[in-house]
Structure 1
Amino acid sequence: MSSVEPLWGVEEVSLFLGVPVKTLYQWKWQRIGPPVRKVGRHLRYVPSLVRTWAEQPDDQAA
């Protein structure tokens, strides 16, 4: 049986990265920041991809 980690919403990513929710919406619009998908009206993030993005050197994170 495989274990699937639930997707994060903007609130969880905001807490994890320590940035305001508004910043996440701006990053999506500017096509920067961690990988994100729209599911219906909501933004959803794969936690492992957010962690990988956060661990990148600053010159590659944007």
Structure 2
Amino acid sequence: MAQRTVVTAQLDELLDEKQAANHLTVSPGTLSVWRSTGRYALPFFKVGRMVRYRRSDLDAWLEARARSSGATA
């Protein structure tokens, strides 16, 4: 049970914009544009001036975008 709690805590780790961008292999500026335009429904938290992303949300967002065939665009 203790290991499950640790794994859950790691998955729900909050990442700053630079860490989140690195996780998604995009630039922090790209994340900023996505947030401001609403291009993608990528959940984030705003704490004062800081923006944070939950690692598990980033992974879920990536998983939802997985394709096994079709156009690349």
In the TM superposition, what is the alpha-carbon distance from 1:19 to its structure 2 partner?
0.5
* Map of 1:56 onto structure 2: 64
Q: TM-score, normalised by structure 1?
A: 0.77
Match of 2:39 in 1: 32
The alignment covers a number of residue pairs equal to 59
- Aligned to 1:15, which of 22, 44, 47? 22
Aligned-residue CA RMSD in angstroms?
2.1
- The alignment-based identity, stated in percent, is 28
Segments of structure 1 that go 5 or more residues without pairing to the other structure are none
Structure 1 segments of 4+ aligned residues over 2 angstroms from their partners: 1-6
Q: Per-residue deviation at 1:31?
A: 1.4
Could you say which residue in structure 2 is the equivalent of 1:45?
A: 53
Unpaired stretches in structure 2, ≥5 consecutive residues: 67-73
